[in-house]
Structure 1
Amino acid sequence: MSSTHSLDSGSTAPLAILREVFGYEAFRGPQAAIVDQVTAGGDALVLMPTGGGKSLCYQIPAIARARAGQGVSIVVSPLIALMHDQVGALHEAGVSAAFLNSTLDWQEALDVERRTARAELTLLYAAPERVNTPRFLELLDGLAARGKLALFAIDEAHCVSQWGHDFRPEYRALAVLHERYPAVPRIALTATADALTRADIVERLQLQDARQFVSSFDRPNIRYAIVEKKDASTQLLRFIEREHEGEAGVVYCQSRKRVEEVAQMLADAGVNALPYHAGLDAAVRQRHQDRFLREEGIVMVATIAFGMGIDKPDVRFVAHLDLPKNIEGYYQETGRGGRDGLPADAWMAYGLQDVVNQRRMIDESPAAEEFKQVMRGKLDALLALAEATDCRRVRLLAYFDETYGMPPDAPEGEERAPLMHCGSCDNCLSPPAVWDGTDAARKLLSTIYRVQQQSGIGFGAGHIMDILRGKPTEKVKQFFHERVSTFGIGAEYSETQLRGVLRQLIAIGAVEVDAEKFNTLRLTDGSRAVLRGEVPVRLRESVSQPAPRRSRRERTGGATTAAPAAAAALDTGGQARFAALKAWRAEVARAHNLPAYVIFHDATLAAIAERAPDSLEALEGISGLGAKKLEAYGEEVVRVIASVK
């Protein structure tokens, strides 16, 4: 991983580095304060949403400290794909960087270690497992002894917490960095952490004296929608065809088998879909990931084994066919959409079996009861979000202790009022009708009780609802359940309504599902309050999906090769220039073995296409076009623009 780098010397001023190396005129949000804190040698804990520019918060201090003669910065990163792309992007920007991971052969790894020992690198990326090895610590000892260990950046810091959604035990050992090198500043970064996880990060990484920077968790460009699961595969296909034809997306499923089935279903329907899960051959997984990153319009159907560290900016939708474990996981996964700041959808299909499955996984876990209780509380918060009839964005932000309309990173002294509606989630766009399900809930609970009392055994949801609705099925007759006093007293309710009621009763803990006894239902201590009418049960009406947006074909007058959203505002000539620049970028990306967005983001190409520069001077000042890229690609870009008639 070597390259010619001309920008490792120069100004140590962060803003000058931002402009010179990365081609951006100004910092966003709290970036400037974070960069100043770390560049000056202070510790920092940074919570910033996906797409908020976290990497610059440690890359710029690393460059500044390297230019000041303070040596190499170590970036702890959990994923090989992320290391490869970030190092590739730094090379494109003219910064000396490398990674140490299993993709290197022995000689290549030895070369990186030697360059690190000589402090020839500005940034070195490594996984936590490697950082904790005696060989790597010996390398760090040598740097520290010569005053050439500049900074530790711990990315995806939520992995250190057992309360987080992606706990990795090897992260716990990173406390050794502070114990062994107390004078070296550290910055820990994550896009997702509730108050409990945040406190755990501070304790585990010994960041008690670190300054905390908490950005708004709001992703205003993401539209949230949660639909009642009926035929999830068909619902997903309809959603993609109507709203995201030909666009990149990620579909999350809980099981490997389901991933394979859904990917095949989408492919059979003409969607460019690929599967990804830990059970696939490693070479197949890598090939599928590379295609997703490098090609346009790929839909990746995956388990949560796919996603963390994926920097693809133009993912236009993230869909969940199964309920995640908690809001942190949901937020992290949906956050992979719309990293470029342009509109994206977070769509989820949710049903009764999702509640049953997640409850069962917690209850059957070998973990301690304290841990299970925390996990149940996190699941309850997600269920409340799924069942909500009010603004989903307000609820989502409230989970992270943020009041919508009053972000924690708002300028001091700025007066704002809390907002109750975002105007862009499904509940705001199509407010659902709500009905009082308290009577139905009491009848359901009574039926569960009386059936258990009569038969001495429990029964599943479908059978209980058949009794309540007065359906004389063979099973009902077999057990003489038409004689139960509640038989038929809920005939006015549809099965869909009763499933919604039962889903909420399970969500609030008034009903338990006994997985060891064929998913039979049983009452809990929480049932009493509902039976006495002390706890109201209010639910959304089961309604058909809202009117779809026009398909991509309809939106573009019959063409399915419309320019990406970044270029939508360009005139006909601008669109032609943009298309030519994209074709040129694809060639360069292939030659460099990098995703196209690492060369230039769509937004940068759109800005170039709009300006139509006829000289290198005319290219200067375009966002995302730093000095090294201007030097490397400027003449080619001008040539491409001139070739468009």
Structure 2
Amino acid sequence: MTAPLAILHDTFGFAAFRGVQEKVIDRVMAGRHTLAVMPTGAGKSLCYQVPALARTGTAIVISPLIALMHDQIRAAEGFGLRAAALTSADANREETIARLRAGELDLLYAAPERASGDGFQSLLARVPIALFAIDEAHCVSEWGHDFRPDYRLLRPLLDSRPKVPRLALTATADHHTRADILKQLGIPDDGLIVAGFDRPNIRYAISPRTNGPKQIAELIAAQPGPGIVYAPTRNAVEKLVEKLGARGRPVRAYHAGLDPDTRRRNQAAFVESEDMVIVATVAFGMGIDKPDVRFVAHAGIPKSIEAYYQETGRAGRDGDPAVAHLFWGASDFALARQRIGEVEDSRQAGERARLDALARLVETPGCRRAILLRHFGEDPPERCGNCDNCLSAPDVIDATELARKLLSAVYRTGQSFGVGHLEKVLTGGSDERVEKLGHDRLSVFGIVGADEARLIRPVARALQARGSLAATEHGGMKLAGDAREILKGEKGLEIVAPPPRGRRRRAERTDNPIGDPLFDALRARRRELAAQAGVPPYVIFHDSTLREMAESKPTTLDALSRLGGVGAAKLDRYGAAFVGVIRGFE
């Protein structure tokens, strides 16, 4: 066997392992089963790619989506690995099987639906297997946010080769999910390795949604580079594409309502682009392995903190600065709480807990990252220095009295009106409908002064987020959750003061952080080579490697080989081209 560290250096061009990579790889090399919980961007792929080259046989990689497999194969082949997939989208099935049987594959990718079948087990019967890697392993658990039943059928395949190490990998798994993964995949408790969940290069920001398309357009204008905008419905995706596309940036859609060819073309264009924005439903994202996404925006709330962590984790996988900005409205929480009532009773308590955790994240005046990390069982510092609240601490207002006035108005008007009508009642506004209903004669009419009036909607939003107000069938509001405790003075409410009109935080531009024309020239050469090879630019080299080239200016292949990410295969294919660019700047 070749030593893992030598493979890391010679094949992948890195001098040392990062984080828990070495610990995970050591277990795999010793033939021990392992569950590795590692944040996106921490180098999970290397944890099975290095042992695949170091151990005898082919590594079998179980992956949930065809597009994800093809991205991973392309990246692996860029480093000189021999990789293939057995999927319905691959026409070279017989050739792949022949290569597998001849020992000519380092990595074979398959979906859980195929891998759990008897035919696949028979195919592997006489093939030396280096390891089983189960990617996106949270899909095996009913506790996970992306449960895939076929993942639970993998155990017979794994047990058929008990001496072959199995490595489960995920970026998102809370305590319940981790325990379930260990049980379902037959991994001992001492096989759990948790690397931590922090993604320090991502700046988290969360804002109330006032004019979603305009707010997202401003974010995009401030953020060069590729980005993903998540919208809650297909219709919302199409409307955002139309509005954002008018701003001049290339924008495409991705959702299940598009025909498969259009979806594939749009995804491929995004993966290859250095500035495209893709607007998508949550169907998009797990199927890409694009490291240079510079921002992720949410036009509405995700399903849970786990989903939010995974979706925002698609930004900044290359370690460079990235932004995750969520725009939310009270209606998002009202609709989510309605949907909880539609699931089976056994799941409702868990779903409510997840939504309450998400409400705490969007409403907190404190550190966003701290709430995220505590949710996953970590003990972070009180402030991270890289979220909106840490960078510009918001003012906090004790809104308990206004909340009591609003809840009282909801109750006294019959628990069937929206915030617009309640606002008119509370502020004593002259309105024909208010007078016709007799709401101008209620004790709550006109009890809110001008100084408090601007806070009515933020308070209503906060009460809906925490579940103290719920939506009625016809779009009004009714008391729910702890509303009565607030009315009795037994509970309070603090809210973040809304920012003054016109105040905006501008994001730092990160397209050329070193401001060097050589860096731009290296990117241009990379773009040309990528087009010739038919691969995305990041498959050639990441921006971090190009920055290192621009800073150290290696003018020989030997000097270039010492940079991070320049392995033997890439040095041989592309080294001369980049050295040539650097020499032109001497």
The alignment's TM-score, normalised by the length of structure 2, stands at 0.95
User: Does residue 524 of the first structure (1) align with residue 502 of the second (2)?
Assistant: no
**Paired residue secondary structure (2:386):** coil
Question: Which residue in the other structure is 2:521 paired with?
Answer: 580
Question: Which residue in the other structure is 2:105 paired with?
Answer: 121
Question: Which residue in the other structure is 2:499 paired with?
Answer: 543
CA apart distance, 1:329: 0.8
Q: State the identity as a percent.
A: 47
Confirm or deny: 8 A CA contact 1:469 1:493 kept in the other structure: no
- Please give the alpha-carbon distance, in whole angstroms, between the structure 2 residues aligned to 1:525 and 1:322: 22
CA apart distance, 1:602: 1.6
Amino acid at match of 2:12: F
Out of 65, 76, 85, the residue aligned to residue 99 of structure 1 is: 85
Question: Which residue in the other structure is 2:424 paired with?
Answer: 466
Out of 137, 145, 152, the residue aligned to residue 157 of structure 1 is: 137
Structure 1 residues 172-181 or 355-364, which shifts more? 172-181
Q: Any idea what the Cα deviations from partners look like across 1:586-620, whole Å, max 9, x if unmatched?
A: 23322332111112112222223333333322222
Confirm or deny: 8 A CA contact 1:85 1:594 kept in the other structure: no
The verdict on how the C-alpha distance between 1:495 and 1:260 changes in structure 2, with shifts beyond 3 A counting, is farther
- Please give the alpha-carbon distance, in whole angstroms, between the structure 1 residues aligned to 2:475 and 2:12: 56
Confirm or deny: 8 A CA contact 1:85 1:595 kept in the other structure: no
Aligned length: 585
Question: Which residue in the other structure is 2:393 paired with?
Answer: 431
User: Does residue 109 of the first structure (1) align with residue 99 of the second (2)?
Assistant: no
Question: Which residue in the other structure is 2:377 paired with?
Answer: 401
Amino acid at match of 2:94: L
- Please give the alpha-carbon distance, in whole angstroms, between the structure 2 residues aligned to 1:336 and 1:91: 22
Question: Which residue in the other structure is 1:281 paired with?
Answer: 259
Amino acid at match of 1:72: T
- 1:475-554 equivalences under 5 Å are 475-492=433-450, 496-514=454-472, 517-524=473-480, 526-544=482-500, 546-549=503-506
Out of 353, 356, 371, the residue aligned to residue 380 of structure 1 is: 356
**Paired residue secondary structure (1:390):** coil
Amino acid at match of 2:171: A
The verdict on how the C-alpha distance between 1:81 and 1:210 changes in structure 2, with shifts beyond 3 A counting, is farther
**Paired residue secondary structure (1:119):** coil
Question: Which residue in the other structure is 1:442 paired with?
Answer: 404
**Paired residue secondary structure (2:252):** strand
- 1:127-146 equivalences under 5 Å are 127-143=111-127
Q: Any idea what the Cα deviations from partners look like across 1:429-474, whole Å, max 9, x if unmatched?
A: 221111111111112222222222xxxx733333233322222433
The verdict on how the C-alpha distance between 1:496 and 1:326 changes in structure 2, with shifts beyond 3 A counting, is farther
Q: Which runs of 5+ in 2 are unaligned?
A: none
Q: Any idea what the Cα deviations from partners look like across 1:488-509, whole Å, max 9, x if unmatched?
A: 2234465552222223323333
- 1:417-428 equivalences under 5 Å are 419-428=381-390
Confirm or deny: 8 A CA contact 1:98 1:112 kept in the other structure: yes
CA apart distance, 1:550: 7.2
**Paired residue secondary structure (2:42):** coil
Q: Any idea what the Cα deviations from partners look like across 1:209-265, whole Å, max 9, x if unmatched?
A: 451111121111111111121111111112222x21x42211111011111111111
- Please give the alpha-carbon distance, in whole angstroms, between the structure 2 residues aligned to 1:284 and 1:495: 48
- Please give the alpha-carbon distance, in whole angstroms, between the structure 2 residues aligned to 1:116 and 1:579: 42
CA apart distance, 1:368: 2.1
Question: Which residue in the other structure is 2:187 paired with?
Answer: 207
Question: Which residue in the other structure is 1:451 paired with?
Answer: 413
- Please give the alpha-carbon distance, in whole angstroms, between the structure 1 residues aligned to 2:579 and 2:469: 67
Confirm or deny: 8 A CA contact 1:76 1:154 kept in the other structure: yes
- Please give the alpha-carbon distance, in whole angstroms, between the structure 2 residues aligned to 1:56 and 1:354: 39
- Please give the alpha-carbon distance, in whole angstroms, between the structure 2 residues aligned to 1:261 and 1:586: 31
**Paired residue secondary structure (2:397):** strand
- Please give the alpha-carbon distance, in whole angstroms, between the structure 1 residues aligned to 2:263 and 2:109: 22
CA apart distance, 1:395: 1.2
User: Does residue 233 of the first structure (1) align with residue 213 of the second (2)?
Assistant: yes
Question: Which residue in the other structure is 1:410 paired with?
Answer: none
Amino acid at match of 2:464: I
Confirm or deny: 8 A CA contact 2:138 2:147 kept in the other structure: yes
Amino acid at match of 2:142: Q
Amino acid at match of 1:142: R
Confirm or deny: 8 A CA contact 1:42 1:210 kept in the other structure: no
Q: Any idea what the Cα deviations from partners look like across 1:68-112, whole Å, max 9, x if unmatched?
A: xxx11100111222211221222222221111122222xx11111
Q: Any idea what the Cα deviations from partners look like across 1:404-442, whole Å, max 9, x if unmatched?
A: 1xxxxxxxxxxxxxx211122111122111111111111
Amino acid at match of 2:209: K
Question: Which residue in the other structure is 2:535 paired with?
Answer: 594
**Paired residue secondary structure (2:55):** helix
The alignment's TM-score, normalised by the length of structure 1, stands at 0.87
Confirm or deny: 8 A CA contact 1:394 1:422 kept in the other structure: yes
Structure 1 residues 308-317 or 256-265, which shifts more? 308-317
- Please give the alpha-carbon distance, in whole angstroms, between the structure 1 residues aligned to 2:232 and 2:109: 30
Structure 1 residues 45-54 or 593-602, which shifts more? 593-602
Question: Which residue in the other structure is 2:234 paired with?
Answer: 256
- Please give the alpha-carbon distance, in whole angstroms, between the structure 1 residues aligned to 2:467 and 2:78: 54
Structure 1 residues 255-264 or 488-497, which shifts more? 488-497
**Paired residue secondary structure (1:522):** strand
Question: Which residue in the other structure is 2:72 paired with?
Answer: 86
Question: Which residue in the other structure is 2:304 paired with?
Answer: 326
Confirm or deny: 8 A CA contact 2:33 2:188 kept in the other structure: no
Question: Which residue in the other structure is 1:408 paired with?
Answer: none
Confirm or deny: 8 A CA contact 1:45 1:210 kept in the other structure: no
CA apart distance, 1:352: 1.1
CA apart distance, 1:643: 4.3
Confirm or deny: 8 A CA contact 1:460 1:520 kept in the other structure: yes
- Please give the alpha-carbon distance, in whole angstroms, between the structure 1 residues aligned to 2:246 and 2:72: 35
Amino acid at match of 2:556: S
Confirm or deny: 8 A CA contact 2:403 2:493 kept in the other structure: yes
User: Does residue 619 of the first structure (1) align with residue 560 of the second (2)?
Assistant: yes
The verdict on how the C-alpha distance between 1:509 and 1:602 changes in structure 2, with shifts beyond 3 A counting, is closer
CA apart distance, 1:48: 0.8
Q: Any idea what the Cα deviations from partners look like across 1:110-169, whole Å, max 9, x if unmatched?
A: 1111221333211101111111223212112232xxxx1221101111112222222222
